[in-house]
Amino acid sequence: MNSILTHSSLNITTNTNIDWEITILNGIVHEYLNKQELSEISLTTRRIRRKLYPLLFTKLRTNPKVLYSMPNFFQHRDNFDFDRLSYSERYRANKAQIDPFFTQATTELERVAKTCKVLNLDQLRKVCYFLIPITSQFLNLYEIYIYNCYLPFYKLNDILKNLSKLEVLKLDHIILLKSTEESELPNDLGFPPSLKSLIYGNVKLVVNDSPQLHTAEFVYNQIPFYSGIRLDLLPQNIPLLNSLTYSNYNPSQNLIKFLGLNSHLEDLTLSITQLTPSTLSALSSISNLECLKLETNDLSFEVPYITPGFNNPLKLKDLTLILLNSSDFNIAKQFIQLTPNLTKLTIRALNDQLFEEFNYLINTLNYFAKYEDTFGGFNFITRVYTK
């Protein structure tokens, strides 16, 4: 049985001839056992399966490599049987494989629905649009990681509403699709109240009917999407949320409102371009915030100006800055003066010369007693200041 499942601890693709649903005894063993003994063995193995199943299949990770390991995956490009066919014949043959593939995937995913705790959908792109509805049966999930996938907007919303145990959610490089019939409905993506950690970045919303009207063209990437909007984080209170990673490089009013509704946050990761006076004011109201990470992808942006009169110090104890140019350091030098309670400061940068002026500021503020450098790949330097 070829499987799209992965082992919970080894994280390798399962490809086995054992069917966990049926016990088949092969070979000459039948010649030495009577029907009662065979029945007893069958019952014993069934009990063993019941014990092992929740342990073996707690984590499901599906990526293109796993999909291509399935013989009937409809996007196989190296099927030599199709070489002699014309383009239209090959296209019809591929189209005929779509439904059988999802039928098999549905059958296999149903087997792990109750025991699966972690779901990882990695770079499935348009295939994920048809796979994600199957996961509505995964009611015991604690963690979901989705990267580089197309998803039906309202189906994802319904799935998230029903996951009462979900604690970790990652949505990164996601395209959410609505049909034209749904275009006037609200663009509100809600999260379950049980959530403790949220990673949200690069989420785009597109109105398009291709998945319903032109399924084959859609899954074979023949219909590009040129229009759409960035779906910003919906302001909402998530009572148990203690960690937020928000990967958006444009200053966001929704982020400020979201922070105001979740003043219990303890860990926050933002783009350094979000450090506007309004964001700083929101950060200062988060009394439990202990760890802040500021990062940039070396994009061209206008350096935000932190008002010198802002005298509401942050209660941070752990701060991480990822800095790639002198503009980043200028922001960091302004920001560091608002964090007198730091016990640890980590800076990751490309240029050693940029540290010299920053070191002078650190010594002037008398925050730390020592630092240690670590040299990594791509000429990155990581400097950790401690008391």
Residue 229: both structure tokens together: 């909007």
Q: Is 337 helix (H, G, I), strand (E, B) or coil?
A: coil
CATH architecture of 259-387: 3-Layer(aba) Sandwich (3.40)
Residue 185: both structure tokens together: 């409905």
Of the listed ranges 57-71, 202-216, 354-368, the least confidently predicted one is 57-71
Please tell me the distance from the alpha carbon of residue 276 to that of residue 284, in angstroms, as a whole number.
Answer: 12
Where are the domains positioned within the chain?
Answer: 259-387
| Confidence class for position 48, pLDDT limits 50, 70, 90 | low
Q: What is the CA radius of gyration of the chain?
A: 26
- pLDDT of 4 > 60? The answer is no
In this prediction, residues 189-210 reach a mean pLDDT of 94
Prediction pTM value: 0.76
| Confidence class for position 2, pLDDT limits 50, 70, 90 | very low
What is the reported pLDDT for 168? 97
Closest C-alpha to 294, from 240, 253, 335, 257: 335
Which one-letter DSSP state was computed for residue 220? T
- pLDDT of 10 > 60? The answer is no
List Cβ neighbours of 144 (8 Å cut-off, separation of 6 or more).
Answer: 118, 119, 120, 121, 163, 166, 168, 169, 170
Q: Are strands 243-247 and 267-271 parallel, antiparallel or unpaired?
A: parallel
Burial of 60: CB neighbours in 10 Å, binned 0-12, 13-18, 19+: buried
Higher pLDDT, 12 or 63: 63
Of the listed ranges 269-283, 293-307, 318-332, the least confidently predicted one is 293-307
- pLDDT of 249 > 90? The answer is no
What is the reported pLDDT for 96? 64
The one-letter amino acid code at 68 reads Y
Higher pLDDT, 83 or 2: 83
Tens of pLDDT, residue by residue over 130-160, are: 888 888 888 899 999 999 999 999 999 999 9
What sections of 34-86 are H helices per DSSP?
35-56, 64-68
